[in-house]
Amino acid sequence: MGKLYLIPTPVGNLEDITLRALRLLKEVSLILAEDTRTTSNLLKHYDIKTPLQSHHKFNEHQQVEKIAERLAQGEDIALVSDAGTPGISDPGFLLTKTCIEHGIETECLPGATAFVPALVNSGFPCDRFCFEGFLPQKKGRLKRLTSLSEESRTLIFYESPYRLVKALQQMSEIFGPDRQACVAREISKVFEEFKRGNLQELADYYTEKGVKGEIVLIVEGKKKEEEGGVYIEMM
């Protein structure tokens, strides 16, 4: 019986990968990659010649049983996403679930995930937080934001640069324009940027300046309100 390895890859700087990850990428029989072109750049950088196979949200349902068969026959296989940890807003859940159902061992290595450095460096409380990933692009978007308006934990979103201004404007309307936020852009890359301010200020800033790159948006939770000299948490 083989093993499925879920291996995080750098979100920017190619040096942000563990020695164990590099060893396993060399030792496994096959690497399943969200985009083989992106992963090829990483493998070439570290002179890794393991065969690659495309595995993404458009073909994973057709592939999981065949991959499980190969694992059951004794092959070790690695799964990587374009950047970060597989399964975090990327393919990975379905294959992991299938392997577990078939009694195939799985192992996820610790490593890069974009929202962790964004959260820690945002300056907002990170002892309790709510990771939302990508908001719905159209249907259900405002409903999701409205349901989060009373959330007291720090909120974490992934967002496209093409929808960042829209997201900031919608959050300003629903959460209130004075709610503080931090836009973390291009984590660990050459043009890494952390821009902090309230939601309206950030919406105005990026409307004027424009925005490029990968985005993690951190929004402070709803603050406790004072009532009769006693702080109460609004639920």
Percent of the chain with pLDDT over 70: 95
pLDDT value for 234: 43
- Residue spans of the domains in the chain: they are 3-108, 115-223
3-108, CATH topology level: Cobalt-precorrin-4 Transmethylase; domain 1 (3.40.1010)
| pLDDT at residue 146, as a whole number | 97
pTM to 2 decimals? 0.89
Position 20, amino acid: R
Which 3 state secondary structure label does DSSP give 41? helix
DSSP 173-234: HHH-TT-EEEEEESTTSTT-EEEEEEHHHHHHHHHHH---S-EEEEEPPPPPEEETTEEE--
Average pLDDT, rounded, for the chain? 94
- Per-residue pLDDT band at 231 (split at 50, 70, 90): very low
138: pLDDT confidence band, cut at 50, 70 and 90?
confident
For 85-130, the pLDDT digits (tens) are 999 999 999 999 999 999 999 999 999 999 999 999 999 999 999 9
Helix axis angle for 164-175 and 199-209, nearest 10°, is 160
pLDDT of residue 36: 96
Statement: residue 81 has pLDDT above 50 = yes
- Eight-state DSSP code of residue 47: T
pLDDT band at 235 (very low <50, low <70, confident <90, very high): very low
For the chain, what percent of residues have pLDDT higher than 90?
92
- Whether the per-residue pLDDT at 225 is higher than 80: the answer is no
Architecture of domain 115-223: 2-Layer Sandwich (3.30)
